[in-house]
């Protein structure tokens, strides 16, 4: 079965989601990531969703789960590259995405993580309104 590749960059993991995932694929990604965070002793996970045209509540919950599990394993999660149409739809859907930081792209995401390390800044990306 196909799996979504996880790239290791130093102490960071980068996941680029490029396919319209069906549920089993999403679940296996969650499992793979958790394993990898532990085995790589990763400090952060960047999830690049710039190729996703749809993020529904299932994918949203997957992302929130990944963020929650990462935090337990002492790693940060940053979601990057959300498309405008997806963002607008998620706000309308009312999906909170608690505890998930966001950035415009991988570069900004890395800068965010670095700044965090420097300042222990704790801005939350809570989108619920």
Partner 1 sequence: MPTLHTEERPIHSSEDVVLVRQAVRARAVQLGFSLVDQTKLVTAASELARNTLEHGGGGTMRLELVEEGARRGVRLLFADQGPGIADLQQAMKDGFTSGGGLGLGLGGAKRLSNEFDIVSRPGEGTRVTIARWR
Partner 2 sequence: MATQAQAQTLVEILREDERSLLHEWLEAQLESTTMRSTLLTRSELQDQSRRFLDALKAALDHGGLDSASPAYEGVRQLLEEMSTARGRQGYTPSETATFVFSLKQPLFARLRERFKADAGELAATTWGATLLLDRLGLFTTEVHQKGREQLIIRQQEEMMELSTPVITLWDGILALPLIGTLDSARTQVVMESLLQKIVETEAPIAIIDITGVPTVDTLTAQHLLKTVAAARLMGADCIISGIRPQIAQTIVHLGVELNDVVTKASLADAFAIALRRSGLSVQRMKDSSASSIRRVRPQDQEAEG
* 3-state secondary structure string across 47-103: EECCCCCCCCHHHHHHHHHHHHHHHHCCCEEEEECCCHHHHHHHHHHCCCCCCCEEE
Can residue 102 be called a binding residue for partner 2 (CB under 8 A)?
yes
CA atoms within 13 A on the CB side of 81: 18
Q: If contact means CB under 5 to 8 A according to the sort of partner, which of partner 2, partner 1, none does residue 82 touch?
A: partner 2
Instruction: Considering only the stretches 38-46, 49-57, 69-77, 114-122, report the one whose residues sit in contact with partner 1 under the rule CB under 8 A.
Output: 49-57
Q: If contact means CB under 5 to 8 A according to the sort of partner, which of partner 2, partner 1, none does residue 61 touch?
A: partner 1
Binding site for partner 2 (CB under 8 A): 79-84, 87-88, 90-92, 97, 102-105, 108-109, 118, 125, 127-129
């Amino acid at each position: 079965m196909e799996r979504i590749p996880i790239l290791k960059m130093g102490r960071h993991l980068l996941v680029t989601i490029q396919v319209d995932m069906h549920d089993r694929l999403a679940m296996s990604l969650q499992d793979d990531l958790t394993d990898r965070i532990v085995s790589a002793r990763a400090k952060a996970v960047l999830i690049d969703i710039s190729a996703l045209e749809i993020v529904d509540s299932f994918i949203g919950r997957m992302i929130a789960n990944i963020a929650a599990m990462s935090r337990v394993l002492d790693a940060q999660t940053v979601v990057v590259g959300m498309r405008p149409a997806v963002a607008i739809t998620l706000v309308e859907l009312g999906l909170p995405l608690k505890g998930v930081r966001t950035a415009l792209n991988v570069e900004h995401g890395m800068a965010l993580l670095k700044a965090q390390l420097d300042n222990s800044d704790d801005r939350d990306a809570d989108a619920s309104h």
